[in-house]
Structures are given as C-alpha cells and as structure tokens.
Amino acid sequence: MIHKFNFVFIITLVITLVLISTFAQMDRAIERHRAVRLARQRRAPDSNGDKRSAFLKDYYFYDVYHKRSHDENIKANPRSTQIEKNPKICIVGAGLAGLFSALLLKEAGINDITILEYQDRVGGRIHTHYFTDNPNDEKRLYGELGAMRLPYIKGRPDLSPHQLVFDTVEYLNEYNKKDDPNRVIKLIPFIFSNPNALYYFNNKKASSGEIMTSNYSKSIGVKQLGLPDTIPDNYLILWDDAVKPFYDELDKNFTNGLINLKRYDHHTTYSYLKEAYLPKVLPSKKPADYDEIISAIEVQEFGTGDFRHYGFVPTVLELYTFSDPNYNISWSTIDKGMQRFPNAYLPMIKKENINLKYNSEVYKLEKTNNSNIKVFWKNNRKSVSETFDRVIVTVPLGVVRHWDLPLTLSYKKRNAIREIDYEFAGKIFLQFKSRFWEKPPSESGANPTTSNIGIIGGATFTDLPIRTIAYPSYYKGTSADKPGILLVSYTWCNDAKKYAQFNEEERFELALKDLATIHGDIAYKEWVPGKKNNKAHYWPNDRTTGGAYSYFGVGQLESLVGAMIRPEECIHWCGEHTDIHNSWTVGALNSAVRVVKEILLENLMSDKWLKLKNTRLLNHWNGNLEVFEDY
Ligand SMILES: Cc1cc2nc3c(=O)[nH]c(=O)nc-3n(C[C@H](O)[C@H](O)[C@H](O)COP(=O)(O)OP(=O)(O)OC[C@H]3O[C@@H](n4cnc5c(N)ncnc54)[C@H](O)[C@@H]3O)c2cc1C
C-alpha cells in the first residue's frame, strides 16, 4: 500500500516538474520572441511606456546602459534571424556628430554608409568664414561663426571631459599625414582671457578718464563700477562660491556629481540664487537686493536673460567647462580655421567609399512594412528617397521639428523634439586695415586705457549691445600693421535677439558704433566696409539649425533628454543635443560613440563594440548615460 502510494506520488511529481519546465521554456520562448520582435521593430513606448521600459530594462537597455558600465558583461541576445551583419546605414548631417559616426562605423567594419548633408560643405556648426579665396594663406582673414575654442587640462587628459576631441584630431592627423599632409590639423593656443582687455559697463571710466582694463576693474569697488551700493563688492565671488560645491562634486566623480546636481533641475539660475543661495549667505538683504545682485552677476558672466530663461543645472555645466577653479583649464584652437577639423575627414570618406551626398535636404522619415526606414530628401528641388536598415539623425531639433516623422514615435520623443530649448547666439565680424587693438593705445591713437598695453587674445566685456569683443589669438607674432578680422560682437540670449531685426549691413554699423565707444574713433578710420569684407551671423535664422546649440530649460535634463536619446523605429538620435556635454564639440563626438554602440549591440556585434571601445581613439570616451532615467 505504502509502495503504491509512493509510486503514484513520484509519478505525479515527475509529471508536474515536466509540465513546469515545459511552461517555463514556452514562457521564455515567448518572451524571447517578443524581445526579438520589439528590438527589431524598435516599437515606440506609447501608452504602455512604463511596461515597455520595464521590459527593456529586463532584456536589453537596462543591462547594457544603466546597470553595467563594464561592457565585458555584455552578452548578445540571440536574435539571429533578422539581424544585419552589415546594416545599410544613413547618417543625416555631416557635422562632427555625423562625420564621427561614419568614422566609427567604418572602424567597426560596417561599410554600407550614406551621409546626406544639406549644405555643400561638411562641418555644420564648425563653420569658419574665410574672407579670402585661399583659406590656407598666411593672412588668416577668417572668423569662426560657430565653435572657436577647445578646452583641455594640461598633462591630465584623463580628467578632461573634452579629451575625445583631441584624440580625434590625433587620429585624423595620423590618417592624413602620409597621403594628404595638407589636411593635418595644427592646434595653436587660444588666449582665453587677457588682463589688459577692457571692461566697460554703466558708461564708467577710471577716475583718470581712461577706459578700464579688466584687471583694473577688479581693484575698485562697486560704486566706482557704477553699480548700486546694495550690491556687495564681492558679488562675483558670491557666484563662484555658489557653484564651487557643485564643481567639487563633478570633479570627484562626474556621474555622481551630476546626479546630485540634477536635484536642482527644477530651478532656473535666478530662482536658485534668489531662493536657495543668497538668503543663506546674505540673510540681512531684502529680496529686491537679491534681484540687483543677480542682475549684476548675469550681465557680467552670461547673456541677458540667461538666468531667468534656462535651467540652473545646464548653466552650472556650461560654466564648469569655462571656469572650474580646481583645474587650470587651457584652450586651443585650430590654425587657419576650425573648418580644418571636419575637412580632415574627407580623405577617409573618399578612401572608404562612404557615400557623402551634398545639397541633400532631408524632410521625411517613414517606417516601411518590414520595419526599415525610408529617408526622403530634396536634391536640387528633385525629391529622392531610399530605404535603410538604420538611420542616424544628427540634425538640430529646430530642423527635425518640421520633418514628417513616423507616427509611431513615442509621446515622450515627440515632446522632447518639440520642447528642448536652444540658445540664441550671434556673432559680428568686422575687417580692419590694421590691428590697432594689438598696439599700445598711445601708439595707435585708440582711446587711452589704464594699462596702455595692446590686446592680443582674450575678450573685452561690456553692457553695450555688442556685449563681448573677442580678440583673435592667431595673429600673435605677426605685425599689427597688417589687416585683421575682429569678432566685435558675440552675443547670447536676449542680447543676440536684440540684433534680429536688423539686416547684415545695419549690424556692422551698430557693432562699429559700440566698438568706437570703447576703442575710439580709430575703429571708424581702420574699418574696411562692404558686405564681402565683414560678416554677421545670427544662428536662430540659420536654416540648418534654427538655434545656436541646445541649452536645457528648467526640468528638461530630467524629463526630456533621456527620451530624446533613446532609439526608436531603427532611428538613432545623435548630435550635441543628445549628450550631457551638449553645446560643445565633444558632445557631438560623444553622441556618435553612443549611437554606434547602439547599432553594433542591436545587430549582435558586441565583439566589435568591445574592440572599438578598447581602441586608443575611444580611451577617454565617457557617455555618462546612467544619469538619464529614460534612456
Ligand atoms: C555660436 C556657437 C559657438 C560655439 N562655440 C563652441 C566652442 O567654442 N567650442 C566647442 O567645443 N563647441 C562650440 N559650439 C558647439 C559646437 O559647434 C557644436 O556642439 C557641434 O559643432 C555640433 O555638431 P553636430 O554634429 O551635433 O551638429 P551640426 O554641426 O549642426 O551638424 C548637423 C549637420 O546637419 C546638416 N543638416 C541640417 N539640416 C539638414 C537636413 N534637413 N538634411 C540634411 N542635413 C541637414 C547641417 O548642415 C549640419 O552639417 C558652438 C556652437 C555655436 C553655434
């Protein structure tokens, strides 16, 4: 009897175990099938967003991007049937993000690459305007409409978030030095600040009647600077002290520092200073006094309106690159123009048969029945289209906003495209017969200054509409009697907008007027008039951008950037606005590494990603993706 009972029990147990194991296998097969299908279709997280992200957390993104920074742990999911070993890829935009994506894909052995570029040149917001026909001549008559300076930390490449830029320059130089030595990029110092550059605020001059140098301005009190006496003499030190703890944390560990900083993402800089900081350090002042202090800091350190318009976090991050007191930040630029950086990719593009199509304006992306992406563009008014396995979009959002996009893109993605803020910025370059500013004023006849020393490099700051005059570093060592281009006005935010209503020639005249107020009538005497000799560029009016660079508004870092970055429908989102070092060249490069990583992993080529990641080129890449919740 006992034996019979045992026998029945054992048989029942075995059957139960077999059934459990079969169901578990079926379950896993179903889940795996879903994983394959979803990953393939890149289906958007519509109303099921949360479920999807939980799902993806289990299966893919969370493991790869959130949890494990050590890629050694990556194991490809078995999705063999629909995976392309050599996917056909379209890169939209030949700015630095697009060009670097192409370079990395090529390095990973992917060779079916098309780049569609609207303009007839590469580089996008790296755009040197040459005033002579020969960009290589020794006159150096050029101005940087976009990026003009590259930061680094001398002797400590491991500490600089911008090191990837320099590693890329080195890679390109290595590539070009044998076959195309004219393409080799020469880095030269960019003189960032100059104690003899000038300071002209509130129509104030030194008591001697001379224009103040920035050095001199630091030696006098607020009253002599024309500021209300509610503002303490140390008002700029207050600002440094307000941000120093954040810099310290970022320096200790960038990701942890950023996670801490993100707690303040609900603040503008104005609200942080007014509500969280100033009442702590100046408890006896009135709220109206705080406003005066905040305004005095903003006008000196930022564009008018930046403190009220943008988030505190992006402002700290932006200034962190410029003025982290913990490191001595050095600056470089490229001799004969930053344009030489994107141009240095051209030999590689040719040699590797990358299909670079100029004058191609993309306006639509459509999902095909088999989940590929059809790209539509106009070439000389003719509409063209082609289907690709994957598309990398590097184009600024002011442009993408007007495209027809797959209707299945997620709610969050559409919101991010619509909402992410861009900074306004404008530059006005004037040409002069001689570089009078480089001579001592007593020699050139310019307005006398408190130093009587000529200015090579650095910047003059003023509250006049031109706001910042940036003196080129690249004439150093050549005669000041030779002609030169001067960046007479570099403006942001409301200061930039205040030029929007004027045409280019009117902007030249306005800029010249302010320059003469500071440097004297010599500016009028030495000016070379004419449209071809001068240049004004207002980035929001640029058809290829619709803004200067992304500058996240309050809460946007927290709520939008992760969703912006996440790939959907075989479309990968790239460009400076998709990186934490946004608004910098390095942001564009970082984002290219990320999308190439996404593509290699999606196509089960983790071996190739690991190999690529371990190259010298990517030694200093740090995507810092773990800070984005939604990615
Ligand atoms: C005024 C200004 C000053 C700056 N200063 C600095 C600096 O000093 N240092 C620094 O490191 N960074 C600086 N930057 C930022 C830096 O220039 C950018 O972060 C970087 O160049 C962006 O590269 P990207 O590839 O993401 O975008 P982009 O360079 O904008 O590339 C996008 C490409 O897409 C193309 N495109 C646009 N629309 C279409 C379309 N419909 N179809 C096909 N192609 C299209 C564009 O022509 C462009 O080539 C500055 C930027 C500006 C605007």
Tens of pLDDT along 185-216? 999 999 999 999 999 999 999 999 999 999 99
The response to whether residue 338 sits with its C-beta less than 6 Å from ligand 1 reads no
pTM score, whole prediction:
0.88
Alpha helices in 272-309 (DSSP H): 278-281, 287-301, 306-309
Q: Is the pLDDT of residue 374 over 50?
A: yes
Least confident of 417-426, 429-438, 545-554, 614-623: 614-623
Please report the pLDDT score of residue 113 as a whole number.
98
- For residue 302, which of 468, 161, 146, 458 has the smallest C-alpha distance? 468
The response to whether residue 190 sits with its C-beta less than 6 Å from ligand 1 reads no
**Which of 544, 564, 565 has most ligand 1 atoms within 8 Å of its beta carbon, as the pocket-test mutant?**
544
Dist. CA 188 → ligand 1 center (Å): 22
Closest CA to ligand 1's atom 14: 147
Compute the half-sphere exposure of residue 194: CA atoms within 13 Å on the CB side of its CA: 25
Residues 249-261 pLDDT 10s: 998 888 888 888 9
The response to whether residue 566 sits with its C-beta less than 6 Å from ligand 1 reads no
Parallel, antiparallel, or unpaired: how do β-strands 355-357 and 113-116 relate? Answer: parallel
Please report the pLDDT score of residue 67 as a whole number.
34
Residues 615 and 107 sit within 8 Å (Cβ to Cβ): yes
CA distance 52 to 36: 14
Q: Is the pLDDT of residue 536 over 50?
A: yes
Q: Is the pLDDT of residue 618 over 70?
A: yes
Directed axis angle between helix 585-602 and helix 163-176, to 10°?
A: 80
Question: Kind and range of the H or E element at 494?
Answer: helix 493-497
Please report the pLDDT score of residue 323 as a whole number.
75
Closest CA to ligand 1's atom 37: 544
pLDDT band at residue 375 using 50, 70 and 90 as cut-offs: very high
The mean pLDDT value for 281-292 works out to 96
The mean pLDDT value for 571-577 works out to 97
The response to whether residue 116 sits with its C-beta less than 6 Å from ligand 1 reads yes
Alpha-carbon distances of 189 from 145, 333, 362, rounded to whole Å: 19, 6, 38
**Which of 362, 378, 395 has most ligand 1 atoms within 8 Å of its beta carbon, as the pocket-test mutant?**
395
The response to whether residue 126 sits with its C-beta less than 6 Å from ligand 1 reads yes
Q: What is the DSSP letter of 452?
A: -
The response to whether residue 152 sits with its C-beta less than 6 Å from ligand 1 reads no
Least confident of 26-30, 115-119, 147-151, 210-214: 26-30
The mean pLDDT value for 587-614 works out to 93
203-216 burial, b at 16+ Cβ within 10 Å, e below that, comes to ebbbeeebbbbbeb
The response to whether residue 464 sits with its C-beta less than 6 Å from ligand 1 reads no
Closest CA to ligand 1's atom 33: 93
More confident residue, 299 or 66: 299
The response to whether residue 430 sits with its C-beta less than 6 Å from ligand 1 reads no
Averaged pLDDT of the chain: 88
Please report the pLDDT score of residue 558 as a whole number.
80
pLDDT band at residue 19 using 50, 70 and 90 as cut-offs: low
Please report the pLDDT score of residue 61 as a whole number.
32
Would you state the CATH architecture of domain 189-223+423-548? Alpha-Beta Complex (3.90)
Give the residue carrying structure tokens 């930061």: 151
pLDDT band at residue 6 using 50, 70 and 90 as cut-offs: low
The response to whether residue 97 sits with its C-beta less than 6 Å from ligand 1 reads yes
More confident residue, 6 or 87: 87
The response to whether residue 581 sits with its C-beta less than 6 Å from ligand 1 reads no
Dist. CA 320 → ligand 1 center (Å): 21
Residues 320 and 252 sit within 8 Å (Cβ to Cβ): no
Dist. CA 575 → ligand 1 center (Å): 8
The mean pLDDT value for 596-624 works out to 90
pLDDT band at residue 84 using 50, 70 and 90 as cut-offs: confident
97-116 burial, b at 16+ Cβ within 10 Å, e below that, comes to bbbbbbbbbbbbebebbbbb
Q: Is the pLDDT of residue 386 over 80?
A: yes
Please report the pLDDT score of residue 255 as a whole number.
81
More confident residue, 622 or 520: 520
CA distance 573 to 580: 14
The mean pLDDT value for 401-413 works out to 96
Closest CA to ligand 1's atom 39: 118
The response to whether residue 589 sits with its C-beta less than 6 Å from ligand 1 reads no
Q: Is the pLDDT of residue 2 over 80?
A: no
CA angle 468, 471, 473 (to 5 degrees): 140
The response to whether residue 393 sits with its C-beta less than 6 Å from ligand 1 reads no
Closest CA to ligand 1's atom 13: 147
Least confident of 37-41, 135-139, 499-503: 37-41
The mean pLDDT value for 292-308 works out to 95
Dist. CA 442 → ligand 1 center (Å): 41
CA distance 178 to 196: 42
- Looking from the CA of residue 116, the nearest atom of ligand 1 is 43
The response to whether residue 601 sits with its C-beta less than 6 Å from ligand 1 reads no
The response to whether residue 583 sits with its C-beta less than 6 Å from ligand 1 reads yes
Please report the pLDDT score of residue 177 as a whole number.
96
Dist. CA 426 → ligand 1 center (Å): 14
The helix/strand/coil state of 54 is: helix
Please report the pLDDT score of residue 324 as a whole number.
78
Please report the pLDDT score of residue 20 as a whole number.
55
CATH 3.90.180.10 fits 42-74+88-130+149-186+335-421+554-631, yes or no: no
The response to whether residue 342 sits with its C-beta less than 6 Å from ligand 1 reads no
| 133 backbone φψ class: left, alpha, beta (φ>0; ψ -120 to 50) | alpha
Residues 498-529 pLDDT 10s: 999 999 999 999 999 999 999 999 999 999 99
Please report the pLDDT score of residue 421 as a whole number.
95
As a whole-number percent, the residues of the chain with pLDDT over 90 amount to 76
Dist. CA 88 → ligand 1 center (Å): 25
Please report the pLDDT score of residue 44 as a whole number.
35
Cβ-proximal residues to 122 (8 Å cutoff; 6+ apart), any chain: 94, 95, 99, 342, 343, 345, 346, 356
Give the residue carrying structure tokens 């490069």: 589
Closest CA to ligand 1's atom 7: 147
Q: Is the pLDDT of residue 1 over 70?
A: no
- Looking from the CA of residue 162, the nearest atom of ligand 1 is 11
The response to whether residue 394 sits with its C-beta less than 6 Å from ligand 1 reads yes
- Looking from the CA of residue 549, the nearest atom of ligand 1 is 53
